[in-house]
Amino acid sequence: MKYAYLFLAVLAETIGTTALHASEQFTRFWPSVIVVVGYAAAFYFLSHTLRSIPVGIAYAMWSGLGIILIAAMAYLVYGQKLDAAAVIGMSLILIGIVIIQLFSKTATH
């Protein structure tokens, strides 16, 4: 269940951040509402994640996965392209998350 909450937190944050761009600095009502709801849901689910995953590990996974998903959404929704350095950097973030999950004893309580 701990990973379900973490996944929901990342998903909500990704939706909120994607809507943040669409809100045009909070000048558009509905995208702004999605931002607030998305971030509120993200922190709610992240707080449940912290019951079973230490805060440092949970935050590293949340922010790392969020970076990757937001970059994917920016490409799909807004047509933003990534250069080779960005792809390599995000690949290293993903590798770091995998290493934490496979080898770190601090990944669980």
What is the DSSP track for 39-53? HHHHHHHHHHHTTTS
List % helix, strand, coil for the chain (3-state, nearest 5): 80, 0, 20
**Distance (Å, whole) CA 53 – CA 57:** 7
pTM over 0.85? The answer is yes
Domain coordinates in residue numbering, the chain: 2-107
Q: For the beta carbon of residue 18, count every other beta carbon within 10 angstroms.
A: 22
Torsion of CA 43, 7, 74, 64, to 10 degrees: 80
The reported pLDDT for the residue numbered 109 is 54
Q: Which regions in the chain score pLDDT beneath 70?
A: 107-109
